[in-house]
Chains A and B, each alone.
Chain A
C-alpha cells in the first residue's frame, strides 16, 4: 500500500521536474538564482540571507529594477553539498538565469567557479555569472580566479591584513587560534605574514589549529592562552568554534581582546551575550549603527523597517550594494545577457548607501571598499539579536591602505 503512495509521490515529483525543465525565461522578471543551505544543520544561514535579500530586492524593484523589469529571486537548496550546488547551477542555466549567487562555504564556491567556467566555455548560449557574497578563501580570486566570478566580500587575506591593522599600539602579544582546514590555515598564515610586515613589534605567543567543529571544551586552550600572557586573540573561527571559544574565555575572566571575522553574523551575538561588552571585535563591511554614526537618516529608516518586519537584525544590509551593482550592471549592458553583464560589471564604480566609493576591481573581480572593525558594546542604538549590545565602529580601513599580492591570471573569453 505504501508502494502506491511512493509511486504517487514519484509521479508528482516527475511532473514538477517536467514543468521546471521546460520553463523558459519569463519576459516579466530578471531572475537571480541563489543557492545556500536551506535545510539541514546550516539551514539558518540560507534562510536568513533569503529574507534579507528579498527585502533588498523589494527596495531595488521599488526603485525601478533594471531595464524596466523587476528582479526575482529563485532559491535553490544546496544542503551544504557541492554536488547539489552544481545541480542547482544546471537548473539555473536550464532556465537561462543570468546570475547565480552563493554566500556560504568555500568548498561550494570552488565547485561553482569551476562549474561556471566549464559551463560557459562549453555552452556559450546559456552563460551565467557567479556572484559570491561570502565565501572568503583567498585562492578563489587569486589562483582560482575566473572572469565569470565576482566576489563582493573581502577575502581571507584582506581580512587578515585588516585585523592586523586594527590592533592598537599597546597590544604586543597575540595568540592565534584557527580551524584546521584550508580557510583556517590560510588565516593563520596570512595573519603571521602581515604581522611581520606591519607590526614587527608584536610577538605571536601562541599559534593553534583545532579540528573543525569537534572541540567542545575550550578551557584547556584558554589555559594555554593565559599562560602565554596574550593580550589579544586573533581567530578566523566561525560557528560553535568561535562562540564556545569566546564564552570559555569570558567565563575564565581573562582580560583578552577577541578579534574575529564572523562574530557579527547570525547567532554570534546571542551566543556571546552581554558579558562580551567591549571585548569582541569583528570585521564587517557594514553594520546598522553606521547610519547613526554618520547621521544618515534615510539609511537608518530603511534598516529600521527591516527590524520591524523580521525578528533578527539586518546584518547583511551591506548586501544592498551587491544588488545595486547588479542593477547598474544590467542597465549598462542594456540587455539581460551574462556575457555583456560581466563585461559591464568589471571595473565599475558606484557610490553606495553610506556615500562611499565602491569599485569592482577588474584585475581579480573583487570588491574594493572600506572595511569596518566593529566592537560589540553596550549603549548603541541598534542592538544585535535583542541582547542589548550592538556593533560600534572602532577602526575603519580604507582599501588603498591594503597591500595585497595578486596572483590572478584571468582568462578572458575569446568572444
Chain B
C-alpha cells in the first residue's frame, strides 16, 4: 500500500513535468501540423536563460523573463523562417526545425561552454515539504506540480474563454475557413508558435535546475515528449494532459512491478532458466524496460487509433 501511494505520487509529479514540456509542442503540432524538433532546444534555452537571469535578478524574475525571451525567439523563428518554409510542405518544416535544433545546440555550447552550469533550485524551495512513509517529498517538486496545473488551467481558459482562443480553436480544425472569415491566420500561427516556445521556455526554467542544465539536455529530453504529444492526439490539450499523466504513471508503476515473462511462464508450469532458448528476452523484468513502455504504447495506439487518444483531426 505504501509503495502504491508513493508511486502514484511520484507518477503524478513526473507526468505533470512531461505535460509542462509537451503542452507547448501539442499546441504547435495541432495548429500547424509541424513536429517541432526544436522544441526541446527551446526548453534548453529557457533553462540557460533562467540560469543567467537568476544569477543577477533572482529566480522569480527568471520565471517571468526567460519564457518571455523564448517567446521572442519563437516569434523570430516563425516569422523569418518557418513561414517561408511552410509552403514547401510538412517534411520541409520538420527538417527546418531539425536544422534550428542543431544550431541552437551549438550556439549554447559556444556561449555557455560544454560543461553543465550550476543552475540550482532557489533556497526558499530547497527543503522537504512533507514526509510520507519516511521519505521526504521535496518542496520543489510540489512547486513543479503547482506550475504545471496552473499552465494547464491557463491554456485551457485561454483557449476556451478568450476571443483569440476561439479563433485559435477554429483554426485548429478548420484553418481555411477561419482565414476565409477574415482572421489573420499567419499572425495567429506566429502567436501560437511563439506561445509554444514560451511554454517550452517555462518548462526549461522549472526543469533546468531540477535536472542538470547542460548542452545535451535537449537531445535527451526530445523523444519522450513527442511520444506524449502524439499519444494524446492532435488538436486536443486534454488529450495531451491525460497522455502525460498516463505515461508518467506507467513508467513509475513499471519500476515497482518486478515480474517478467519468464515468471508468467513459470506460474503456468513452464520452467525457464538461463539455458532455455530466448531466455535472454524472457527473463527481462518489467522495471528494466519501464522507460521503453511509452514507445511501445505509442506504436499500439497509432496502429489502432491513429488520431491518438482524444485527437480531433487525422494526422
Contact = CB atoms under 8 A, between A and B. Distances in A.
B114 A221 contact: no
Given A240-B211, A253-B136, A219 B117 contact: no
B118 A273 contact: yes
A217 B221 CA distance: 12
B134 interface: yes
A227 interface: yes
A270 B117 contact: yes
Nearest to A45: B114
Contact of A267 (B211, B214, B290): B214
11 contacts: A41-B216, A41-B219, A41-B220, A211-B288, A219-B14, A220-B256, A227-B3, A253-B131, A270-B115, A270-B212, A312-B115
Nearest to B140: A251
Contacts, number: 115
Interface residues of A, number: 41
A251 B216 contact: no
B13 interface: yes
A374 interface: no
The interface size bin for chain B is 35 or more
Given A214-B291, A227-B2, 19 more contacts: A41-B215, A43-B114, A47-B114, A48-B114, A211-B289, A215-B290, A216-B17, A216-B211, A217-B14, A223-B6, A223-B135, A224-B3, A224-B255, A240-B211, A240-B212, A251-B141, A271-B116, A273-B118, A385-B115
Nearest to A223: B6
Given A44-B114, A211-B289, A273 B120 contact: yes
B156 to A, nearest CB: 25
Interface in A206-226: 208-211, 213-217, 219-224, 226
A249 B48 CA distance: 25
B108 to A, nearest CB: 11
Interface string A214-255: 111101111110110000000000001001100100011110
B214 to A, nearest CB: 7
B135 A226 contact: yes
B291 A219 contact: no
Interface in A29-50: 41-44, 47-48
Interface string B255-290: 110000000000000000000000000000001111
A254 B135 contact: yes
Contacts of B30: none
B211 A270 contact: no
A267 B115 contact: yes
Most chain A beta-carbon contacts within 10 A, residue among B214, B215, B224: B214
Nearest to A271: B212
Contacts of B136: 251-253
Contacts of A244: 211-212
Contacts of B134: 226
The interface centre, meaning the residue of A226, A266, A312 with most chain B CB atoms within 10 A of its CB, is A226
Contacts of A304: none
B216 to A, nearest CB: 4
Contacts of A208: 287-288
Contact of B7 (A223, A240, A271): A223
A47 B215 CA distance: 14
B212 A243 contact: yes
Interface of A: 41-44, 47-48, 180, 208-211, 213-217, 219-224, 226-227, 240, 243-244, 247, 251-254, 266-267, 270-271, 273, 312, 385-387
Contact of A240 (B13, B17, B114, B220): B220
Given A43-B114, A213-B220, A267-B116, A221 B255 contact: yes
Contacts of A47: 114
Interface in B124-182: 128, 131, 134-138, 140-141
A240 B287 CA distance: 18
Contact of A217 (B13, B114, B115, B116): B13
B10 A44 contact: no
A270 B113 CA distance: 14
Given A240-B220, A273-B120, A44 B115 contact: yes
B252 interface: yes
Q: Which of A42, A270, A273, A312 has the most CB of B within 10 A?
A: A270
A224 B2 CA distance: 11
B122 to A, nearest CB: 13
A224 B291 contact: no
Nearest to A42: B216
B14 A216 contact: yes
A222 B2 CA distance: 13
Nearest to A275: B126
A217 B252 contact: yes
